[in-house]
Structure 1
Protein backbone atom coordinates (compact mmCIF):
# COMPACT_ATOMS: atom_id res chain seq x y z
CA UNK A 1 0.00 0.00 0.00
CA UNK A 2 2.75 2.46 0.85
CA UNK A 3 4.37 1.94 -2.57
CA UNK A 4 1.03 2.59 -4.24
CA UNK A 5 0.54 5.76 -2.18
CA UNK A 6 4.03 6.88 -3.18
CA UNK A 7 3.22 6.18 -6.82
CA UNK A 8 -0.01 8.20 -6.53
CA UNK A 9 1.87 11.14 -5.02
CA UNK A 10 4.51 10.92 -7.76
CA UNK A 11 1.86 10.69 -10.51
CA UNK A 12 0.15 13.79 -9.11
CA UNK A 13 3.44 15.67 -8.97
CA UNK A 14 4.44 14.65 -12.52
CA UNK A 15 1.04 15.79 -13.81
CA UNK A 16 1.51 19.18 -12.15
CA UNK A 17 -1.31 18.58 -9.68
CA UNK A 18 -1.59 19.86 -6.13
CA UNK A 19 -0.20 17.58 -3.41
CA UNK A 20 -2.67 15.06 -2.00
CA UNK A 21 -3.38 14.85 1.71
CA UNK A 22 -2.90 11.50 3.45
CA UNK A 23 -6.63 10.86 3.85
CA UNK A 24 -7.23 11.86 0.21
CA UNK A 25 -4.63 9.28 -0.88
CA UNK A 26 -6.33 6.70 1.36
CA UNK A 27 -9.66 7.43 -0.33
CA UNK A 28 -8.07 6.99 -3.79
CA UNK A 29 -6.53 3.69 -2.64
CA UNK A 30 -9.92 2.53 -1.33
CA UNK A 31 -11.53 3.40 -4.68
CA UNK A 32 -8.70 1.60 -6.50
CA UNK A 33 -9.39 -1.53 -4.48
CA UNK A 34 -13.09 -1.33 -5.34
CA UNK A 35 -12.49 -1.08 -9.08
CA UNK A 36 -10.02 -3.98 -8.86
CA UNK A 37 -12.94 -5.93 -7.29
CA UNK A 38 -10.62 -7.48 -4.71
CA UNK A 39 -9.92 -6.19 -1.20
CA UNK A 40 -6.32 -7.43 -1.44
CA UNK A 41 -5.51 -5.88 -4.83
CA UNK A 42 -5.25 -2.40 -6.28
CA UNK A 43 -6.06 -1.27 -9.79
CA UNK A 44 -3.28 -0.73 -12.29
CA UNK A 45 -5.63 0.98 -14.74
CA UNK A 46 -3.40 4.01 -14.80
CA UNK A 47 -5.62 6.16 -17.00
CA UNK A 48 -8.63 5.77 -14.69
CA UNK A 49 -6.50 6.47 -11.62
CA UNK A 50 -4.96 9.56 -13.21
CA UNK A 51 -8.40 10.76 -14.31
CA UNK A 52 -9.55 10.61 -10.69
CA UNK A 53 -6.43 12.45 -9.50
CA UNK A 54 -7.00 15.20 -12.07
CA UNK A 55 -10.70 15.52 -11.23
CA UNK A 56 -9.98 15.73 -7.49
CA UNK A 57 -7.32 18.36 -8.18
CA UNK A 58 -9.87 20.39 -10.13
CA UNK A 59 -12.30 20.29 -7.20
CA UNK A 60 -9.51 21.44 -4.89
CA UNK A 61 -8.79 24.27 -7.34
CA UNK A 62 -12.42 25.36 -7.22
CA UNK A 63 -12.11 25.61 -3.45
CA UNK A 64 -8.91 27.62 -3.84
CA UNK A 65 -7.01 24.99 -1.82
CA UNK A 66 -3.28 24.33 -1.99
CA UNK A 67 -3.72 20.62 -1.20
CA UNK A 68 -6.22 18.00 -2.40
CA UNK A 69 -8.32 16.76 0.50
CA UNK A 70 -10.52 13.70 1.00
CA UNK A 71 -13.64 15.78 0.28
CA UNK A 72 -12.28 16.62 -3.18
CA UNK A 73 -11.84 12.93 -4.01
CA UNK A 74 -15.30 12.16 -2.60
CA UNK A 75 -16.88 15.00 -4.65
CA UNK A 76 -15.13 13.80 -7.80
CA UNK A 77 -16.42 10.25 -7.32
CA UNK A 78 -19.93 11.50 -6.53
CA UNK A 79 -20.04 13.63 -9.69
CA UNK A 80 -19.07 10.56 -11.73
CA UNK A 81 -21.93 8.59 -10.16
CA UNK A 82 -24.36 11.40 -11.02
CA UNK A 83 -23.25 11.43 -14.67
CA UNK A 84 -23.55 7.65 -14.90
CA UNK A 85 -26.92 7.75 -13.14
CA UNK A 86 -28.18 10.32 -15.65
CA UNK A 87 -27.57 7.92 -18.53
CA UNK A 88 -29.19 5.02 -16.69
CA UNK A 89 -32.14 7.23 -15.75
CA UNK A 90 -32.62 8.34 -19.38
CA UNK A 91 -32.77 4.70 -20.52
CA UNK A 92 -35.37 3.89 -17.84
CA UNK A 93 -37.36 6.98 -18.83
CA UNK A 94 -37.37 5.85 -22.48
CA UNK A 95 -38.74 2.47 -21.43
CA UNK A 96 -41.51 4.01 -19.30
CA UNK A 97 -42.40 6.55 -22.03
CA UNK A 98 -42.45 3.66 -24.52
CA UNK A 99 -39.89 5.30 -26.83
CA UNK A 100 -37.67 2.27 -26.21
CA UNK A 101 -39.98 -0.64 -26.94
CA UNK A 102 -39.46 -3.95 -25.19
CA UNK A 103 -42.01 -6.69 -25.81
CA UNK A 104 -42.56 -8.58 -22.57
CA UNK A 105 -45.56 -10.65 -23.61
CA UNK A 106 -46.11 -13.16 -26.36
CA UNK A 107 -43.56 -14.46 -28.80
CA UNK A 108 -42.31 -13.62 -32.27
CA UNK A 109 -40.40 -15.71 -34.74
CA UNK A 110 -36.70 -14.74 -34.97
CA UNK A 111 -36.92 -12.17 -32.13
CA UNK A 112 -35.81 -12.29 -28.53
CA UNK A 113 -35.12 -9.83 -25.75
CA UNK A 114 -31.55 -9.47 -24.55
CA UNK A 115 -29.65 -7.48 -21.99
CA UNK A 116 -26.57 -5.47 -22.94
CA UNK A 117 -24.25 -4.58 -20.08
CA UNK A 118 -23.15 -0.95 -20.27
CA UNK A 119 -19.96 -0.25 -18.30
CA UNK A 120 -19.16 3.40 -17.63
CA UNK A 121 -16.06 3.57 -15.49
CA UNK A 122 -16.67 1.59 -12.34
CA UNK A 123 -20.45 1.64 -12.80
CA UNK A 124 -22.41 -0.73 -14.98
CA UNK A 125 -26.06 -1.34 -15.72
CA UNK A 126 -28.22 -3.43 -18.01
CA UNK A 127 -29.80 -2.06 -21.17
CA UNK A 128 -32.62 -4.11 -22.68
CA UNK A 129 -32.29 -4.81 -26.38
CA UNK A 130 -34.28 -6.57 -29.06
CA UNK A 131 -32.33 -9.32 -30.81
CA UNK A 132 -33.44 -10.18 -34.32
CA UNK A 133 -32.22 -13.22 -36.21
CA UNK A 134 -32.09 -13.69 -39.96
CA UNK A 135 -31.66 -17.09 -41.56
CA UNK A 136 -30.80 -18.26 -45.02
CA UNK A 137 -30.15 -21.50 -46.80
CA UNK A 138 -26.61 -22.60 -46.14
CA UNK A 139 -24.38 -25.64 -46.29
CA UNK A 140 -26.11 -27.49 -43.46
CA UNK A 141 -23.87 -26.36 -40.60
CA UNK A 142 -24.66 -24.13 -37.65
CA UNK A 143 -22.50 -21.02 -37.30
CA UNK A 144 -21.96 -19.10 -34.07
CA UNK A 145 -22.00 -15.53 -35.37
CA UNK A 146 -20.48 -14.11 -32.17
CA UNK A 147 -17.54 -16.48 -32.45
CA UNK A 148 -17.09 -15.81 -36.16
CA UNK A 149 -17.25 -12.03 -35.75
CA UNK A 150 -15.27 -12.12 -32.47
CA UNK A 151 -17.87 -9.91 -30.78
CA UNK A 152 -18.68 -12.13 -27.80
CA UNK A 153 -17.27 -10.51 -24.67
CA UNK A 154 -16.52 -11.66 -21.15
CA UNK A 155 -20.17 -11.28 -20.07
CA UNK A 156 -21.51 -13.38 -22.95
CA UNK A 157 -22.90 -16.77 -21.86
Structure 2
Protein backbone atom coordinates (compact mmCIF):
# COMPACT_ATOMS: atom_id res chain seq x y z
CA UNK A 1 0.00 0.00 0.00
CA UNK A 2 1.27 3.46 -0.91
CA UNK A 3 1.77 6.34 1.46
CA UNK A 4 -1.31 8.54 1.23
CA UNK A 5 -0.36 11.82 2.90
CA UNK A 6 2.98 13.24 1.80
CA UNK A 7 4.66 15.88 3.93
CA UNK A 8 6.13 19.21 2.81
CA UNK A 9 4.08 19.67 -0.37
CA UNK A 10 3.42 23.17 -1.66
CA UNK A 11 -0.21 24.16 -2.27
CA UNK A 12 -0.03 23.35 -5.98
CA UNK A 13 1.81 20.07 -5.36
CA UNK A 14 -0.82 19.04 -2.80
CA UNK A 15 -3.61 19.67 -5.33
CA UNK A 16 -1.73 17.80 -8.06
CA UNK A 17 -1.10 14.97 -5.62
CA UNK A 18 -4.86 14.27 -5.48
CA UNK A 19 -4.82 13.54 -9.22
CA UNK A 20 -1.66 11.46 -8.85
CA UNK A 21 -3.18 9.45 -5.96
CA UNK A 22 -6.14 8.66 -8.17
CA UNK A 23 -4.21 7.49 -11.23
CA UNK A 24 -1.47 5.66 -9.30
CA UNK A 25 -4.22 3.97 -7.28
CA UNK A 26 -5.79 2.81 -10.56
CA UNK A 27 -2.51 1.65 -12.10
CA UNK A 28 -1.44 -0.31 -9.01
CA UNK A 29 -4.92 -1.49 -7.93
CA UNK A 30 -4.36 0.30 -4.60
CA UNK A 31 -7.92 1.02 -3.51
CA UNK A 32 -6.92 2.96 -0.38
CA UNK A 33 -4.76 5.32 -2.45
CA UNK A 34 -7.47 5.68 -5.11
CA UNK A 35 -10.17 6.35 -2.50
CA UNK A 36 -8.00 8.94 -0.72
CA UNK A 37 -8.12 11.05 -3.88
CA UNK A 38 -11.91 11.43 -3.91
CA UNK A 39 -14.39 13.51 -1.92
CA UNK A 40 -16.08 10.29 -0.82
CA UNK A 41 -18.81 11.71 1.43
CA UNK A 42 -20.16 14.22 -1.10
CA UNK A 43 -23.10 12.71 -3.03
CA UNK A 44 -22.34 14.99 -5.99
CA UNK A 45 -18.76 13.74 -6.50
CA UNK A 46 -18.56 12.82 -10.18
CA UNK A 47 -16.50 11.07 -12.82
CA UNK A 48 -17.42 11.94 -16.42
CA UNK A 49 -16.08 10.03 -19.43
CA UNK A 50 -17.51 10.50 -22.91
CA UNK A 51 -21.26 9.83 -22.61
CA UNK A 52 -21.10 8.39 -19.09
CA UNK A 53 -21.50 10.30 -15.81
CA UNK A 54 -20.89 8.42 -12.59
CA UNK A 55 -22.29 10.32 -9.61
CA UNK A 56 -21.29 9.44 -6.04
CA UNK A 57 -18.14 7.61 -4.96
CA UNK A 58 -19.85 4.21 -4.63
CA UNK A 59 -20.92 4.48 -8.28
CA UNK A 60 -17.42 5.58 -9.33
CA UNK A 61 -15.91 2.65 -7.45
CA UNK A 62 -18.35 0.11 -8.89
CA UNK A 63 -18.32 1.25 -12.53
CA UNK A 64 -14.86 2.76 -12.98
CA UNK A 65 -12.34 1.56 -10.37
CA UNK A 66 -13.47 -2.09 -10.35
CA UNK A 67 -13.39 -2.13 -14.16
CA UNK A 68 -10.00 -0.44 -14.68
CA UNK A 69 -7.91 -1.46 -11.63
CA UNK A 70 -7.68 -5.17 -12.62
CA UNK A 71 -6.26 -4.21 -16.02
CA UNK A 72 -2.61 -3.49 -16.69
CA UNK A 73 -2.61 0.26 -17.19
CA UNK A 74 -0.45 3.33 -17.16
CA UNK A 75 -2.10 6.74 -16.88
CA UNK A 76 0.33 9.59 -17.54
CA UNK A 77 -0.57 13.24 -17.10
CA UNK A 78 1.35 16.41 -17.98
CA UNK A 79 0.93 20.13 -18.67
CA UNK A 80 -0.97 20.53 -15.42
CA UNK A 81 -2.47 24.00 -14.95
CA UNK A 82 -3.99 24.78 -11.56
CA UNK A 83 -6.25 27.70 -10.68
CA UNK A 84 -6.36 28.30 -6.92
CA UNK A 85 -6.22 31.32 -4.68
CA UNK A 86 -4.12 31.33 -1.50
CA UNK A 87 -6.23 30.14 1.40
CA UNK A 88 -8.97 28.77 -0.86
CA UNK A 89 -10.56 25.38 -0.27
CA UNK A 90 -11.49 24.85 -3.92
CA UNK A 91 -9.35 24.62 -7.05
CA UNK A 92 -9.60 23.62 -10.68
CA UNK A 93 -7.05 22.08 -13.00
CA UNK A 94 -6.56 20.92 -16.55
CA UNK A 95 -3.95 18.49 -17.79
CA UNK A 96 -3.17 16.41 -20.83
CA UNK A 97 -3.15 12.64 -20.51
CA UNK A 98 -2.17 9.47 -22.28
CA UNK A 99 -3.50 6.20 -20.90
CA UNK A 100 -2.48 2.72 -22.01
CA UNK A 101 -4.74 -0.26 -21.19
CA UNK A 102 -4.09 -4.00 -21.50
CA UNK A 103 -6.17 -6.90 -20.26
CA UNK A 104 -4.91 -8.44 -17.04
CA UNK A 105 -1.75 -10.48 -17.65
CA UNK A 106 -1.32 -9.32 -21.26
CA UNK A 107 0.70 -6.13 -20.85
CA UNK A 108 4.05 -7.73 -21.65
CA UNK A 109 2.81 -9.50 -24.79
CA UNK A 110 3.69 -7.25 -27.77
CA UNK A 111 1.13 -9.04 -29.96
CA UNK A 112 -1.90 -8.53 -27.69
CA UNK A 113 -4.66 -6.01 -28.22
CA UNK A 114 -4.52 -2.78 -26.25
CA UNK A 115 -6.28 0.55 -25.91
CA UNK A 116 -4.29 3.78 -25.97
CA UNK A 117 -6.16 7.02 -25.35
CA UNK A 118 -5.25 10.66 -25.08
CA UNK A 119 -6.99 13.88 -24.23
CA UNK A 120 -7.51 16.44 -21.49
CA UNK A 121 -8.57 16.10 -17.86
CA UNK A 122 -10.74 18.85 -16.34
CA UNK A 123 -10.75 18.42 -12.56
CA UNK A 124 -12.45 20.24 -9.68
CA UNK A 125 -10.81 19.81 -6.28
CA UNK A 126 -11.87 20.52 -2.69
CA UNK A 127 -9.69 20.55 0.41
CA UNK A 128 -11.07 18.07 2.91
CA UNK A 129 -11.00 19.54 6.41
CA UNK A 130 -11.21 16.06 7.96
CA UNK A 131 -7.72 14.95 6.84
CA UNK A 132 -6.29 18.09 5.23
CA UNK A 133 -5.93 16.44 1.83
CA UNK A 134 -7.09 17.86 -1.48
CA UNK A 135 -9.68 15.61 -3.13
CA UNK A 136 -11.37 15.27 -6.50
CA UNK A 137 -14.95 16.58 -6.56
CA UNK A 138 -15.42 16.20 -10.33
CA UNK A 139 -13.15 14.58 -12.89
CA UNK A 140 -14.17 15.16 -16.50
CA UNK A 141 -12.12 13.06 -18.93
CA UNK A 142 -12.32 14.41 -22.46
CA UNK A 143 -10.87 11.84 -24.82
CA UNK A 144 -9.49 13.41 -28.00
CA UNK A 145 -8.30 10.22 -29.66
CA UNK A 146 -8.00 6.52 -29.16
CA UNK A 147 -6.08 3.72 -30.77
CA UNK A 148 -6.81 0.04 -30.35
CA UNK A 149 -9.62 -2.01 -28.92
CA UNK A 150 -12.13 -0.12 -26.73
CA UNK A 151 -13.62 -3.46 -25.64
CA UNK A 152 -10.64 -3.81 -23.29
CA UNK A 153 -12.28 -1.23 -20.99
CA UNK A 154 -15.79 -2.49 -21.68
CA UNK A 155 -16.87 0.08 -24.27
Q: Is TM > 0.5 for Structure 1 vs Structure 2?
A: no
TM-score by length of 1: 0.26
Structure with the higher fraction of residues in helix conformation: 1
| Largest Rg, 1 or 2 | 1
TM-score by length of 2: 0.26
Structure with the higher fraction of residues in strand conformation: 2
Higher relative contact order (CA 8 A, sep 6+): 2
